[in-house]
Amino acid sequence: MCRIFCFCVSLSLTILMAHSSQATTSPPLKVLILTSPGVYHNYELQTQALAYALAERVHVQVDVSLAEVERWKTTDFAQGYDVLIYNICMADNQDETLIANLRRQSEVLGVPALVIHCAMHSFRETDLWWPMFGLQTKTHESLRPLTQIQTAPHPILNGIPKNWTVGNDELYINLQFEALTLLSVISADNRPHTTAWLAYQGATPIFGTTLGHSDETLDDPAFQRLIANAVLFVTGNLSDQGAVADRLDPVSNTINIIDTVSAPEGVVFLGETGKDCAYRQLAIAAGPCYLGCILNPLEWGEATQICKRSCERKLPSSDDIISTCSPDAQSNPLPVSP
């Protein structure tokens, strides 16, 4: 619990609002970030980066819900918030009751949402999650620079460079898409794939972006602007001309931008050390299989890719990795069977 407390205090002391000359008395936008401990991503750093990106540009107050699956499954957790941000990675999960309640927050209660990167690969073995935000994807290309194509003018793209290239990220391969494309990228096989978009559930807007794998992306000012614009737009505070409501100008003094960080007993962010541990567990589990795919002279091209995908069945679940690589467990890590 100390780790969570220190995380909160660190953010409170370091986030500085510097864009407004007068402190505002208007209430901030209430933001709830739902996130995961982190296996493939450093969600501790990403949560700080998202909070900073918003606070630097918008008058917000942020709460963080870390892996509170029971809360997400059984309560109307969105009540009292202006917007939800899903920055989760739950690829193995197929819990229909959980998915239904996550969807209920926007589809029934009408709370707008942002879905970022691995949120799209969460629950990916079901057809129950992606219809909420309009894009189905199960795979991605390797990390590389991604040059964004703006499909049409939109307030969410205000301030985003026309020639914006994300330095190092994953291109998620679109399988089905039912929304308005804002940004896209050409894949290795010369096909366009949407990377930022806007969907609606009734009158409730939901913004999505498949960008956000690397720390470099989270630190990119254009990405930060994209997220801030999206929060403003889905909450009805960004005009068609890209103007922000005056009451939401960021304040000039240091404030406690993160109000609470809540998590189940014993659950903490894995951090960089935990992520290194996770990669070791993955390498132990699937490394020999991957190597066999590459060295087998009878398997080249597509056959190699099929072989590699078959190796994924050997990977431990995210929950098992988190249990093994949590700070309390690393002094005596559990073995992973190859």
Higher pLDDT, 34 or 281: 34
Q: Are strands 113-116 and 204-209 parallel, antiparallel or unpaired?
A: parallel
Q: Are strands 60-66 and 113-116 parallel, antiparallel or unpaired?
A: unpaired
Integer-rounded Cα radius of gyration of the chain: 20
What are residue 136's DSSP bridge partners?
176
How does pLDDT run across 302-324, given as a tens digit for each residue?
676 677 667 766 667 767 777 77
pTM of the model: 0.82
Closest alpha carbon to 164 in 179, 178, 143, 185: 185
Of the pLDDT bands very low, low, confident and very high (cuts 50, 70, 90), residue 82 is very high
Q: Which residue stretches of the chain are H helix?
A: 2-14, 43-57, 69-74, 96-107, 215-218, 221-234, 271-295, 302-311, 318-325
For residue 293, the model assigns a pLDDT of 75
Q: Are strands 165-169 and 172-177 parallel, antiparallel or unpaired?
A: unpaired
- Judged against a pLDDT cut of 60, whether residue 329 lies above it is answered with no
Q: How far apart are CA 36 and CA 202, in angstroms?
A: 28
Which domains are seen in the chain, by residue range? 2-262 (3.40.50.880), 271-325 (no CATH)
How does pLDDT run across 105-146, given as a tens digit for each residue?
999 999 999 999 999 999 999 999 999 999 999 999 999 999
Q: What is the mean pLDDT of residues 165-188?
A: 97
For residue 4, the model assigns a pLDDT of 55
- Judged against a pLDDT cut of 70, whether residue 248 lies above it is answered with yes
For residue 99, CA distances in Å to 32, 106, 139, 210, 222 come to 17, 12, 20, 19, 31
